Amino acid sequence: MTRARAIAGAMSLSVMASAAPALAGQQVYTYSVVHPIYGEIGTFTDTIDRTPEATRIDSHLLVTVTLLGVVAYREESDATEVLRGNRLVSLQSVTNKGGRHLEVHGEAQGDQFMVNATAGSFAAPGTISPSDPWVLKRTGEEVVVSTSTGKIVNVQISGGDYDTISMNGTSVSARHFIVSGDKRQEVWLDSREIPIMFRTVEDGTPIDFVLQNATAAASTTTVAALRRSALARPENGDK
């Protein structure tokens, strides 16, 4: 049961891997959620809608861990982020995690970003970013707001060099970023700065989010249809 609960922080991804790619219109990206012991345990979907005025990111996570035919853990969440330029102006999320109900309501107010959440009320600089692999300002020190709890987290972002991962028997070159904060997260970006895989490490257990398909107004991504089994699997523990 402890391992099953290790996925509980999967939506608290304090990863800011790259500036969102300059694609017009709406794109939908579907990821499989992969546990190193239980295998494929759910899906995560990002719908990104860009207009000249703002960028809106709608995310949906559904995870279920079943042991001997019994549901040992379930998590479902919906989150909406709205950014104008590089500034986060609104964050709304609802999460049901292992029987717990969490809500986050945040909005820009003057030069601050104010958060009211189940975990408490928080004030952050107006330059804060959401904990989202699509959003990055720079490597180095950064302050993010957790999309699932509303908590403010200081992180250190490093990396950005090219790494190679195996997909469908083909080696794919991707930029690899590492985020160190209240937990460790990693992200891999393709040549169009789209996250093809990202990872959160919970209690030493890596939970992977692997891109399976993308539907977009623009041309298809580097990986339009990925299968989890084609990825080189990590060891169970921090990297």
Model confidence over 1-45: pLDDT tens digits?
Answer: 444 444 444 444 434 433 444 455 789 999 999 999 999 999 999
pLDDT value for 171: 81
Angle at CA of residue 221, ends 218 and 226, nearest 5°: 140
pLDDT digits (tens, 9 = 90+) for 158-214: 999 999 987 656 788 899 999 988 888 999 988 888 899 999 987 789 999 999 988
**DSSP codes, 106-174:** EEEETTEEEEEETTEEEEEETT-EES-TT--S-SEEEEEE-TTT--EEEEEEEEEEEEEEEETTEEEEE
pLDDT value for 17: 39
- Per cent of the chain over pLDDT 90 is 58
The domain 2-75+130-230 having CATH identifier 2.40.360: the answer here is: yes
Residues contacting 99, CB < 8 A, separation 6+: none
* Residues paired with 202 in a beta bridge: 205
The answer to whether residue 121 scores a pLDDT higher than 50 is yes
pTM above 0.75, yes or no: yes
How far are the Cα atoms of 12, 136, 210 from residue 36, in angstroms, in the given order? 19, 28, 13
Cα 43 to Cα 59: distance, rounded to the nearest angstrom: 11
What ranges do the domains of the chain cover? 2-75+130-230
The answer to whether residue 94 scores a pLDDT higher than 90 is yes
